[in-house]
Amino acid sequence: MDVELLLTSTMTLASGIPLTLILALASLVIGLVLSVPLAFLRASGNRWVSLPVLAYTYVFRGTPLLVQLFIIYYGLGQIDFIRSSVLWHVLRDPFWCSLLAFSLNSAAYTTEVFRGGILAVPPGMIDAAQAIGMTPLQQKRKIILPIAFRGILPSYVNEVIALLKASSLASTVTLLEITGLSRKLVSETFAPYEIFIAAGILYLGLTSVFTSGFRMLETRWLNAPPKQAAPDGIAVKRVAHGS
């Protein structure tokens, strides 16, 4: 193991961090935006509304992300209708294809997570919202969504980490994010240990930053007392300021 090479390749691979972050965060946001309405449809009692959404989440969660990415990147070009349309400018670009694949995949997982959160909202809360005359949209926006989001926060962290790691698949469609750069570097130097371990260190750094960031959010939003917050075992009583 060449420690010097390990350090220099960590520096070289660090230039791939922005692309990894852009891919992961952008698809996370798009996935989140898509999943909110889908989750309400999926949680609906009407089967004609919930079944199509179930079909979408079932297919996207039941097949490998790699296949989804290849269908979008290589497959869609086979359809003449798409090749001749304006969309083709977007769909022949590996970046937009990766973003599309990751977003659709993430939306499918997040929809199911959110559905669980929505169904777990105590019915009394919704009754109360109705009783004070909220419209259905207000109920969703001000009552159901915030409560559901708090409830799913711990499982949503897993989705964030999974997406960060899944962004490494973009290297298979020629994108030079952390994994793509490391594969290129390995083919030039043929020193797989140092370079792939360097890439691993970068990913580990990113995932731990996100995990601890979300843990902080959890402490704030869920009003859970942070660890070691109470000296000598005396619980500090917190006054909720109606946040």
Which residue in 6, 45, 21 sits closest to 170, CA to CA?
Answer: 21
Q: Smaller CB distance to another protein: residue 134 or 157?
A: 157
Residue numbers 50-89 binding another protein by CB under 8 A: 59, 62-68, 70-71, 74-79
Which stretch in 42-50, 89-97, 119-127, 165-173 sits in contact with another protein by CB under 8 A? 165-173
Cα dihedral value 102, 108, 113, 117, nearest 10: 120
Q: Residues 30, 38: contact at Cβ < 8 Å?
A: no
What Rg do the C-alpha atoms of the chain give, in angstroms?
22
| φ and ψ of 235, to 5 deg | -75, 125
Query: How far is the C-alpha of 95 from the C-alpha of 98, rounded, in Å?
Result: 5
Query: How far is the C-alpha of 210 from the C-alpha of 161, rounded, in Å?
Result: 7
Q: Smaller CB distance to another protein: residue 188 or 232?
A: 188
183 near another protein, rule: CB under 8 A: yes
Which stretch in 124-132, 139-147, 202-210, 221-229 sits in contact with another protein by CB under 8 A? 202-210
Q: Smaller CB distance to another protein: residue 146 or 192?
A: 192
Q: Smaller CB distance to another protein: residue 118 or 199?
A: 199
Q: How many CA atoms lie within 13 A of 34 on its CB side?
A: 20
Least distance in angstroms from the C-beta of 238 to another protein: 29
Q: Smaller CB distance to another protein: residue 36 or 166?
A: 166
21 near another protein, rule: CB under 8 A: no
Query: How far is the C-alpha of 166 from the C-alpha of 103, rounded, in Å?
Result: 11
Least distance in angstroms from the C-beta of 204 to another protein: 4
Binding site for another protein (CB under 8 A): 59, 62-68, 70-71, 74-79, 161, 165-169, 171-172, 179, 182-183, 186, 190, 192-193, 196-197, 199-200, 203-204, 207-208
